[in-house]
Amino acid sequence: MNEEPVTTLPGRVLVVGGGQGIGQALAAAWPGQTTVWTRHTGVDATDPDALRTAFATFQQQHGAPFALLHTIGDFAEQPLLGTDLATWRHLFASNVDSAFHTIQAVVPAMVQARRGRVVLFAAAGVDKDKGMLRAPAYFAAKAAVVQLARSLALETAKAGLTVNVVAPGLIHHPHSHQESQQRLLGRVPAGRLGHVDDVVGMVRYLLSDAASYVTGQVLTVDGGLQA
């Protein structure tokens, strides 16, 4: 589906969580210019030491990345009062801790290089200032990701970085949550599930010159989903 002409970026794209789904599509969007970190490649992003070690190797080979795309974030659909402690901790480790540790390992080098784009992932509806009946612990974690991004945007703007959040709706891929996506399809005015390329398009924009003055924003890709 990726029929865009290949764009040459001014540096490497580091995709944290790019083994499947949206991250995998992003890793394929700039052929020969991306590095993928997942647990399958030996980098667990909930482990700050693993990230520091991996980034030391990355930096030796490539210097500071041009773009850091953090695409990790497990999902659980349980009411808040039915969410057990292990699930709560897992959702925050997967969505928030991994983003925090990744930022701390990688972004200082981007600041030093005085250029770069950071993209974190939340979920459609997270910035709507309303409760989320369907997956409240997941949305609480995604709200924390948004706040991390907004603060990081302010901290790094002077160094020439942009930091934004992509908030996908129901994006279909072989590992996505098929049952809940089919159940919610009727709430998508566009009348279809999203494709990973719908998200790739938004990230292409965020990594382009056209987006150099866009920072601290949540950009939703959801076909109008009424969550």
Residue of the chain from 170, 218, 219, 221 that contacts ligand NAP (CB under 6 A): 170
* 220 is a contact residue toward ligand NAP (CB under 6 A): no
State the binding string over 106-145 for ligand NAP (x if CB under 6 A, else -): ---------------x-x----------------------
Nearer to ligand NAP, 39 or 115 (CB): 39
Contact present, 118 and 162 (Cβ < 8 Å): yes
**Of 27, 31, 32, 9, nearest to 17 (Cα)?**
27
Residue of the chain from 144, 168, 198, 207 that contacts ligand NAP (CB under 6 A): 168
For the CB of residue 153, give the shortest distance to ligand NAP in the complex, in Å. Answer: 18
Nearer to ligand NAP, 40 or 158 (CB): 40
Buried b / exposed e along 135-174 (16+ C-beta atoms within 10 A): bbbbbbbbbbbbebbbebbeebeeeebbbbbbbbbbbbbe
**Of 116, 9, 18, nearest to 67 (Cα)?**
116
Block residue for tokens 């089919």: 182
Beta pairing partners, 34: 13
Helix (H) or strand (E) holding 111: helix 98-113
Find the part of the chain contacting ligand NAP (CB under 6 A) among 44-52, 57-65, 128-136, 149-157: 44-52
Look up 138 and say whether it is catalytic: yes
Residues that bind ligand NAP (CB under 6 A): 17-23, 38-40, 43-46, 71-73, 75, 94, 98, 121, 123, 168, 170-171, 175-176
Active site residues: 138
